[in-house]
Amino acid sequence: MKKDILVFYFISIVLVVNSQNTRLIDYNSIGWYNVFVTKKISDKWSTHLEYQWRRDEFVFHGQQSLLRVGINYKVNQKMTTRIGYGWIETYPYGSINIQAAGKTFTEHRAFQAILLNDQMGILEIQHRLMLEQRWIGRYTKPDINIEDDYLYVNRMRYMLRIQIPLGKKLIEDKTFYAGMYDEIFIQFGENVQENIFDQNRLSALIGYKLNKYFKLELGYLNQSVLFGREINGNNVLQKNNGFIVNTYLNF
User: Mind listing the pLDDT tens digit of every residue in the chain (251 residues)?
Assistant: 555 555 555 555 555 544 445 789 999 999 999 999 999 999 999 999 999 999 999 999 999 999 999 999 999 999 999 999 999 999 999 999 998 889 999 999 999 999 999 999 999 999 999 999 999 999 998 889 889 999 999 999 999 999 999 999 999 999 999 999 999 999 998 888 777 999 999 999 999 999 999 999 999 999 999 998 888 888 999 999 999 999 999 99
Residue 168: its pLDDT value, please?
94
The number of folded domains in the chain is 1
The Cα-based distances of 77 to 1, 121, 175, 216 in angstroms read 17, 17, 21, 23
Alpha carbons 112 and 95: distance in angstroms, whole number: 33
Q: Left, alpha or beta for 57 (phi > 0: left; psi -120 to 50: alpha)?
A: left
Q: Which domain holds residue 164?
A: 2-250
CATH number, domain containing residue 195: 2.40.160
Question: What pairing do the DSSP bridges indicate for beta strands 235-250 and 23-40?
Answer: parallel
Query: 203: which residues sit within 8 A by CB, 6+ positions away?
Result: 180, 181, 182, 219, 220, 221, 222, 244
The string of DSSP letters for 14-68 reads HHHHHTTSSEEEEEEEEEEEEEEEEEE-SSSEEEEEEEEEEEETTTTEEEEEEEE
pTM of the complete model: 0.89
Residue 189 CB contacts under 8 Å (≥ 6 apart), including other chains: 152, 153, 154
pLDDT of residue 180: 98
In this predicted structure, what is the pLDDT of residue 1?
53
pLDDT at 232: 85
Which has the closest alpha carbon to 136: 104, 112, 92, 183?
A: 104
